[in-house]
Amino acid sequence: MDYDWGDTDLPYLDTKDADVFGSIEPFANEFHALSHTVAIVLIKIRLLIDLQALQRAKEEAGPHVPREILDNIQQHTSSSVITSDPTIIERDDQTPHIAKLRTQVQAFYAVVKKANAHFWPALLQPGDHLKARPNGYMHGSQSHMQLTLQYSYNAWAETPGAIGVIRELSKA
């Protein structure tokens, strides 16, 4: 209660060496904010897409180019979260890690769907939801979805392939 949130020199946002591939358990319950859960899903999807790009580069270009060129390709196809960890880049096979992320994304998809059944369909076809101006909301309501969608849609739209991952999960 006595933490000074206005003092930006204090270490409340000094997260270091966090494991972005870590367990989803702390975040996969019904008590977390929808907007935070949706953000975590997007982060996991971005990691998934990056690892898939690394795997493709290694399979398609790896046997045909020198290691230095492959490293350069991999540096440009992945985010700094991936490229800053040499153990990830040096792995010959990303498949187990891709599978783990897929499982996490599927689990988070279900958490969001349970928390607000309107969110995923609206992400796939946002239409007027992006212009709506709800006065308030109840958890799980369409108004709640609209506000969360408005906060997060641009991040989803600027991540190539992210909405496609959700589209595929929606078909299952």
47-83 residue pLDDT tens: 999 999 888 877 777 667 777 777 777 677 777 777 7
What is the domain range of residue 65?
33-171
- Confirm if 81 and 19 have CB atoms less than 8 A apart: no
- 96 lies in some domain: yes
Q: Which residues of 88-120 are buried (b: 16+ CB within 10 A; e: fewer)?
A: bbebeebeebbebbbebbeebbebbeebbebbb
* Domain assignment of residue 56, yes or no: yes
Is residue 45 assigned to a domain? yes
**Do 78 and 54 contact (CB within 8 A), yes or no?**
yes
pLDDT one-digit tens code per residue, 118-165: 999 999 999 999 998 988 888 888 999 999 999 999 999 999 999 999
Domain count, the chain: 1
Whether 17 maps to a domain, the answer reads no
Measured in whole angstroms, the distance separating CA 101 from the mean position of its chain's CA atoms is: 10
Residue 19 covered by a domain: no
Predicted model pTM: 0.81
